[in-house]
Structure formats: structure tokens, C-alpha cells
Amino acid sequence: MGIQPELAVPTVPNRERRVVLAGALSKLFDLWQLTTGDRLALLGMSSENRSALQRYSQGEPLAPNRDLMDRAGHLLGIHKSLKLLYPRNDAIAHGWMAARNTKFGGYSPVDVVKQYGLPGLALVRGTLDAMRGQ
């Protein structure tokens, strides 16, 4: 008899926005100088899915997948935080994801994501937010 509240279902961006996201992530991964394996791990894809990276860099949209959209949001948030934390030092901002870091027990942020997946990506982003005082 009770009224159930409507569930807020997150929506996946339309095709056009997913094309923009794919291009932005491709450029971001180039800036960070990540290996193909690291790029795939950050996107939550298997190492056999190398062709997806090439398709994304050539203008195809990201797959309409909630996990992938969450990862894209975290990655772009990480990039923003790095630019805010190191506005005059691109070398640090661009190398941070692959560099060993005491905040992660001597592992790199990429290693954390490889080990823990999406929660690891959220941890990396949260660590940067904490460094920014947010």
C-alpha cells in the first residue's frame, strides 16, 4: 500500500558526448604517457581489447556502459586535480599516475587501479581531492 519513491537511474551520455569523452581520454592517456596495458586497465578492459583504444582515438564513442562512464569521470577528475595541484609543473602532473607514490605504499596510482579496479580509481581521485583540501 505504501508509495515507492522513483528510483533515480543514472543515464549514460548520448553518442556525441561519448565521442568527446573518448577523444579526451585518448589525449589524456597520451599526456600521461601510459602503456597500452595501463590504458586498458584504467578503462576496466582486458588486455585483449587493444582495438578499442584505437577506435576511441579515431573518433568512435565510448561504449554506453555505466562502469566505463564512471571511470571516465574519475579519470577526468584526476586530471583536473593534477592541473590544480601542479599548475606550473606539467612534468609532475603528466607523470603522476605512473610514478611510485608513498601515499599508495610505494605503488603507482595505475598499480592501485590494476589491483582494485573502479574502487581503486575512486581511491586515487579521493586522495587527490584530499591533497587539494576538498
The 10s digit of each residue's pLDDT in 69-127 is 999 999 999 999 999 999 999 999 999 999 999 999 999 999 999 999 999 999 999 99
Q: What is the pLDDT of residue 55?
A: 94
Nearest to 81 by CA among 65, 104, 60, 97: 97
Contact 42, 75 (CB under 8 A): yes
C-alpha 134/C-alpha 129 separation (Å) is 5
Q: Comparing C-alpha atoms, which of 104, 108, 81, 106 is closest to residue 96? A: 108
Backbone angles phi, psi at 118, to 5 degrees: -60, -40
Which is more confidently placed, 2 or 12?
Answer: 12
Distance CA 79, CA 84 (A): 9
Percent of the chain with pLDDT over 70: 93
User: What is the rounded average pLDDT for all residues in the chain?
Assistant: 92
pLDDT attached to residue 2: 52
How much is the pLDDT for 13?
85
Confidence category of residue 36, pLDDT binned at 50, 70, 90:
very high
Q: Kindly list the domain boundaries of the chain, sorted by start residue.
A: 15-131
| pTM tops 0.85, yes or no | yes
Opening angle at CA 73, ends 98 and 94, nearest 5: 30
